[in-house]
Copies of this chain bind each other. A is one copy, B any other.
Amino acid sequence: MRERKIPLNLNCGLDLIGEVLYGKWKIRLLWFISEGHKRPSELHRKIPGASRRVLTVQLNELEAHDLIRKKVYAVVPPKVEYSLTAFGKTIIPLIGALGKWADENETRLRDLILNNETKLPEANRDGY
């Protein structure tokens, strides 16, 4: 975040989607929360590839965007639970649909992605 130097576009709906859902782990976070994984540590276990730091940052953003709500228990060690807001719930079906689409095309997508991971970079390496 911090002071943005390149202005936001907020023209069409798709721009807005970008702002709210754009973040490497956000849709996964929303999805797992919708599945009932509420605590940050749980979510981190579900998404081990992400650093704890980014997850908390993105959770904060989702909260700021009113998609999730945070409940802090005054105990030690700390306990925190996230849940979807009513607003957040309205977007879950869409995320579900995306996941379903990807699952249905899983092998195809995986092939396409991996193909390009091994092809494009080699072309670049020559340039160094």
Contact = CB atoms under 8 A, between A and B. Distances in A.
A121 B5 CA distance: 12
Contacts of A101: 13, 17, 90-91, 94
Q: Which DSSP category, helix, strand, loop or mixed, fits chain A's interface?
A: helix
Interface in A68-115: 87, 90-91, 94-95, 97-103, 105-106, 108-110, 112-115
A9 B109 CA distance: 13
Contact of A113 (B7, B10, B12, B90): B10
A125 to B, nearest CB: 7
Given A8-B113, A65-B113, A117-B8, A27 B17 contact: yes
A13 B106 contact: yes
A102 B87 CA distance: 11
A52 to B, nearest CB: 15
28 contacts: A1-B116, A1-B120, A1-B124, A2-B120, A2-B125, A4-B117, A8-B113, A10-B113, A12-B99, A13-B98, A13-B99, A13-B102, A13-B106, A14-B28, A14-B95, A16-B105, A16-B106, A16-B109, A17-B27, A19-B109, A20-B109, A20-B112, A22-B22, A61-B116, A65-B109, A65-B116, A90-B101, A97-B97
